[in-house]
């Protein structure tokens, strides 16, 4: 009994042929016009057909007996493993082949029996037994299938990806007021993962068992147990994908959990998510798709369905985290992280569309596109919040020493970071009316100039307009902060420091490409103007004491006046020294330049006055030599208050 599938149809065909012939003989025999010879031939033919029918009935009985015998052999082979706790595929390829052959025979027996017209109870009982045997075999194959997938799973090791070491490296930007550490610009740089390491297909299951898995899958699908096979695959591989996320140190958080996180913790979670997202999609999911293709390639859309069902939950877990981030508050310190998340999702968009095409993967793809859109909205909204935060940052007390304000450092270092995202920002800000580009003309003295420089008819990127708008807002705020100083010279000193810092930050960084040389020249002129205004406000009154306006230099009145003017000069100079040694110019070159400029004016006027009036004033009234005064001027702007004490002079 070899092939039941071919024997059963053959016998059925013969039965039908005999029945048709007997019908023809009866029809012809009823014709009265036939000769005796013809009638005799028909009678002999009818007798032979009756004999054939009897023989066929005996063949059918023999076939039933043969099917039952064949089924018993198959049943014995399959049942022999029901009491064996070992795994078939651990017993060697011969045992596995024999078991699959027995399963194949059981399936063919069922097909043969189902193709017959089952009238007798014996035949129905044979079919029931065959189905029971096949069901037991399918349950065993499902176990073997899962066992091979689990036992021969290859470990996933994210090479060169030290995630945990970055747990505490997040930048807690803090508030605008408190932040003043320039290390922000270095530590907040985004992480990078080489695309080469991302796009490497790996064997998630050992290649030696792929053929066995494929054979089991084919057998289960041919036996109409495709649902059970797919379900077994999805259960095992979903666990593997969850373990991959664990290896990448991605935790499962609810939206509420994310919204409650402190920024320092959330910042590090986002950085880890960005790195993990690339590796998971380009390396792990691509490898998972390859595994599905190898096992189910001959089974229609099964490979695609299995992949989607296994990958859906882990992907939605990753997307849920991004969604939670997007619906949270849009604080300025989050802008860079929003951009990181947007860029990685945008970069993986084609990969996702390829991995989850058509209807089966639509839920993942639709959610992916929606989260990408929400992050884009978050970037734009955060830029608005950032501008508002800069514009509304207020101070109740003047900034000590007239140095570079924390807000200035924060904003300019922030803008430096945004240069890394210029392509993305240009894309997101293009034709976006939700973010105001320019201030109103009455916002500050500097706004009109900025408005003119930004009012281009074309050729200026959206990012350029927005960043220049931010610097205009910053300058307007600095002008307001300068008014907190009662001393006019300190107002100009403060603005000189801060605008110089802005200009240098642009000139010596990638911002130069964004802002252009025209912007730099304009701001160089601005801080130089404030430097001249500082000198004028500080020294013009003091140096006026050194002007000799007496027409009768020999008179005692004129000598007294000269001495009084010199004394007043010394008092004013010592007050400037005491006050302005506490003022600070952080930039070494700017400090040196202002000292030299001040020294040239003051020392020249002092030396000229003393040289002309020494005879009339008397040496004992000269407290300091020109060289001493020049040395004292070199003490200015160090940020440490000092007082003049000259024991040699009265």
The token pair at 601 is 């004016």
The pLDDT value given to residue 301? 81
Position 402 scores a pLDDT of 94
Domain presence at residue 244 = yes
Q: Give the residue from 151, 171, 188 where a domain finishes.
A: 151
pLDDT for res 613: 81
Under DSSP, the state recorded for 285 is I
Q: What is the pLDDT of residue 430?
A: 84
pTM of the model: 0.76
Instruction: Judge contact between 583 and 401, C-beta under 8 A.
Output: yes
pLDDT at res. 447: 39
d(CA 209, CA 153): 10
* In a shared domain, residues 216 and 324: yes
- At 142 the pLDDT is 94
574 plus 536 within the same structural domain: no
536 and 618 assigned to the same domain:
no
Q: Which of 151, 186, 216 is the last residue of a domain?
A: 151
Report the distance separating Cα 523 and Cα 281, nearest Å.
46
The whole-angstrom separation of Cα 385 and Cα 387 is 5
Q: Is residue 379 part of a domain?
A: no
Q: Say whether both 351 and 482 belong to one domain.
A: no
Helix, strand, coil percentages (3-state) for the chain, rounded to 5, are 70, 0, 25
Residues of the chain predicted below pLDDT 70: 1-66, 116-120, 122, 158-199, 431-459, 548-557, 645-650
Domain match, 428 and 530 both: yes
pLDDT given at position 326: 93
pLDDT of residue 69: 77
Q: Is residue 125 part of a domain?
A: yes
| Residue 339 shares a structural domain with residue 292 | yes
Alpha-carbon distance 106 to 288, whole Å? Answer: 33
Do 90 and 133 fall into the same domain?
Answer: yes
Query: What is the longest distance spanned by two Cα atoms in the chain?
Result: 181
The CA distance from 106 to 472, in Å, is: 82
Q: Please give the tally of structural domains in the chain.
A: 5
Whether residue 121 sits in one domain with residue 234: no
pLDDT at 48: 55
Do residues 216 and 258 share a domain?
Answer: yes
**Buried-state track 381-418, b at ≥16 Cβ within 10 A, e below 16:** bbbebbbebbbebeeeebbebbbbbbbbbbbbbbbbbb
In a domain, 577, yes or no: yes
**619 secondary structure, DSSP code:** G
Report if residue 188 sits inside a domain: no
What is the per-residue pLDDT for 24?
59
Q: What is the pLDDT of residue 611?
A: 85
Residue length, the chain?
650
- The answer to whether position 494 is within a domain reads yes
Does some domain include residue 118?
A: yes
Q: In which domain, by residue range, is 504 found? A: 393-435+462-542
Q: 154 near 205, Cβ under 8 Å?
A: yes
By CB atoms closer than 10 A (0-12, 13-18, 19+), residue 506 is buried
What pLDDT was estimated at residue 59?
45
Q: What is the dihedral of CA 208, 213, 216, 222, to 10 degrees?
A: -120
Whether residues 504 and 361 share a domain: the answer is no
What CA–CA distance (Å, rounded) separates 409 from 184? Answer: 9
User: Within its chain, how far is the Cα of 480 from the centroid?
Assistant: 39
pLDDT at 410: 95
Contact 603, 641 (CB under 8 A): no
Assess if residue 299 is contained within a domain. Answer: yes
298 and 238 share one domain: yes
List beta partners, residue 371.
none
State residue 81's pLDDT score: 82
Is the same domain home to 405 and 512?
Answer: yes
Q: Which tokens is 388 given?
A: 């508002």
Angle between helices 93-115 and 36-79 (to 10 degrees): 140
E runs forming strands in 37-83: none
């Amino acid at each position: 009994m070899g092939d039941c599938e071919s024997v059963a149809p053959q016998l059925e065909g013969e039965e039908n042929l005999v029945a048709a012939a007997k019908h023809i003989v009866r029809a012809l025999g009823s014709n009265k016009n036939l000769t005796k010879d013809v009638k005799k031939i028909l009678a002999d033919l009818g007798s032979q057909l009756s004999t054939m029918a009897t023989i066929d009935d005996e063949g059918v009985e023999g076939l039933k007996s043969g099917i039952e015998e064949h089924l018993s052999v198959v049943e014995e082979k399959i049942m022999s493993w029901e009491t064996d706790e070992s795994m078939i595929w651990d017993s060697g390829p011969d045992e596995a082949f024999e078991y699959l052959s027995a399963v194949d025979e059981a399936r063919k027996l069922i097909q043969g029996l189902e193709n017959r017209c089952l009238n007798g109870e014996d035949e129905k009982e044979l079919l029931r037994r065959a189905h029971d045997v096949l069901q037991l075999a399918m349950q065993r194959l499902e176990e073997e299938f899962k066992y091979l997938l689990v036992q021969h799973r290859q470990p996933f090791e994210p090479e060169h990806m030290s995630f945990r070491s970055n747990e505490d490296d997040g930048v807690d930007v803090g508030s605008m007021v408190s932040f003043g550490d320039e290390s922000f610009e270095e530590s907040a740089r985004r992480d990078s993962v080489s695309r080469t390491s991302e796009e490497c297909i790996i064997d998630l299951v050992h290649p030696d068992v792929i053929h066995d898995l494929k054979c089991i899958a084919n057998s289960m699908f041919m036996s109409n147990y495709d649902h059970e096979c797919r379900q077994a695959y999805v259960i095992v591989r979903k666990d593997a994908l969850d373990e991959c996320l664990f290896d990448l140190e991605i935790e499962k958080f609810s939206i509420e959990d994310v919204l409650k996180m402190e920024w320092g913790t959330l910042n590090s979670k986002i950085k880890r998510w960005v790195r993990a997202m690339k590796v998971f999609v380009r390396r792990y999911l691509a490898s998972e798709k390859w595994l599905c293709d190898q096992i189910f390639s001959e089974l229609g859309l099964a490979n695609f369905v299995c992949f989607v069902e296994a990958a859906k939950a882990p992907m939605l877990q990753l997307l849920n985290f991004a969604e939670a981030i997007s619906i949270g508050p849009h604080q300025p310190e989050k802008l860079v992280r929003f951009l990181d998340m947007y860029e990685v999702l945008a970069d993986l968009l084609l990969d996702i569309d390829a991995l989850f095409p058509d209807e089966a993967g639509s839920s993942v793809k639709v959610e992916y596109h929606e989260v990408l859109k929400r992050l884009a909205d978050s970037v734009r909204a955060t830029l608005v919040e950032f501008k508002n935060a800069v514009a509304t940052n207020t101070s109740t007390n003047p900034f000590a020493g007239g140095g570079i304000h924390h807000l200035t450092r924060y904003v300019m270092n922030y803008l430096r970071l945004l240069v890394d995202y210029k392509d993305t920002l240009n894309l997101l800000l293009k034709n976006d009316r939700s973010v105001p580009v320019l201030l109103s003309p009455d916002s500050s003295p500097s706004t009109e100039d900025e408005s003119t420089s930004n009012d281009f008819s074309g050729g200026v990127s959206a990012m350029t307009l927005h960043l220049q708008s931010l610097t205009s807002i910053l300058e307007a705020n600095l002008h307001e902060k300068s008014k907190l100083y009662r001393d006019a010279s300190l107002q100009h000193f403060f603005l000189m420091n801060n605008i110089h810092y802005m200009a240098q930050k642009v000139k010596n960084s990638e911002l130069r490409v964004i802002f252009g040389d025209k912007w730099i020249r304009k701001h160089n002129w601005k801080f130089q103007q404030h430097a001249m205004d500082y000198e004028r406000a500080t020294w013009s009154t003091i140096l006026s004491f050194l002007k000799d306006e007496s027409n009768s230099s020999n008179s005692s009145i004129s000598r007294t006046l000269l001495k009084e003017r010199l004394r007043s000069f010394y008092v004013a100079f010592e007050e400037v020294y005491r006050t302005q040694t506490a003022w600070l110019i952080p930039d070494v070159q700017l400090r040196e330049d202002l000292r030299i400029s001040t020294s040239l004016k003051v020392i020249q006027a002092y030396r000229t006055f003393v040289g002309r009036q020494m005879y009339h004033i008397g040496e004992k009234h000269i407290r300091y030599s020109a060289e001493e005064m020049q040395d004292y001027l070199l003490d200015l702007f160090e940020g440490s208050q000092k007082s003049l004490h000259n024991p040699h002079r009265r």
